Copies of this chain bind each other. A is one copy, B any other.
């Protein structure tokens, strides 16, 4: 298996960056990813400040990976074969003016900011040692994955139709992520692996680790509008927006349109059925756009 070891990381999703690795459809390959702090947070004294992690260094991405045989208008399918954590510990932080339960750069208030804070958690035998009494099983996931947009250069802190910083625990081993392709070759980027993450990533930070991600890519010759995910039990759609209900509306309308187009549901039947059986994941409410996932159980799909 070929391994992509990036010489350089990027903080924007853009087709203006030169392809750094090239893969063929069906090829299995491995991508080394840096942690979200670019390795600068190693002990609890390393508190996250703008000095330590300037904006241009936040959430470094490995890529662009040029996918041969993929055109604008296609759907790129990324299968996640494995995620291997490459550190003996993970870091989780409180970055001032970032997080779901604090004033932020977007929700500006006159209250004082929360203090910056770093927690280092040893990881061994598949357990994250959050404290002496609390050990959390590892459930690795890729926080940030996506393709280049057509014209813009989008910060790696932001999710969108191109994927990006979705921080969704369903982007995990065994699942497939489908991404709309905006430029020839797709220009795949990824990074920001989490050893584990709760719904909402409420403090703004998961257990952040460097990793190796084993992937296989494929293509479907049809157009989608927003990322989709498939697991053993669910088909899923991802929406990112503010306020949070708009992220959910995007995901849900995309899910219903999927049921109509591919599974031949009547639109309002699908709407009324989702009201009974759909599941919803709050992926994150801490990034510049929030991310929601709408899930439909495969067992109710028509044959």
A274–B199 CA distance with the chains assembled, in angstroms:
9
CB closest chain-B residue, reference A282: B280
A202–B16 CA distance with the chains assembled, in angstroms:
35
Q: Could you tell me if B94 and A271 are in contact, using CB atoms closer than 8 angstroms?
A: yes
Q: Could you tell me if B197 and A151 are in contact, using CB atoms closer than 8 angstroms?
A: no
Q: In the complex, how many residues of chain A place their beta carbon closer than 8 angstroms to a beta carbon of chain B?
A: 82
Q: A273 in the interface, Cβ–Cβ < 8 Å?
A: yes
A194–B150 CA distance with the chains assembled, in angstroms:
28
Q: A206 — which chain B residues lie within 8 A by C-beta?
A: 275-276
Q: Could you tell me if B245 and A290 are in contact, using CB atoms closer than 8 angstroms?
A: yes
Q: A254 — which chain B residues lie within 8 A by C-beta?
A: 108
| A:1-46 near B, CB below 8 Å | 11-12, 14, 16
A290–B246 CA distance with the chains assembled, in angstroms:
13
Q: A128 in the interface, Cβ–Cβ < 8 Å?
A: yes
From A16, A113, A201, A243, residue with most partner B Cβ within 10 Å: A243
Q: A277 — which chain B residues lie within 8 A by C-beta?
A: 136, 196, 198
Q: Which of A73-81, A98-106, A185-193, A215-223 contacts B (4 or more CB under 8 A)?
A: A98-106
Other-chain residue from B107, B153, B285 in contact with A151 (beta carbon distance below 8 A): B153
CB closest chain-B residue, reference A56: B151
Minimal beta-carbon separation of A8 from chain B (angstroms): 14
| A:92-120 near B, CB below 8 Å | 92, 94, 99-103, 106-115, 117, 119
Contact indicator per residue, chain A 228-256, by CB within 8 Å of chain B (1) or not (0): 00000000000101111110111011101
A292–B149 CA distance with the chains assembled, in angstroms:
28
From A12, A153, A155, residue with most partner B Cβ within 10 Å: A153
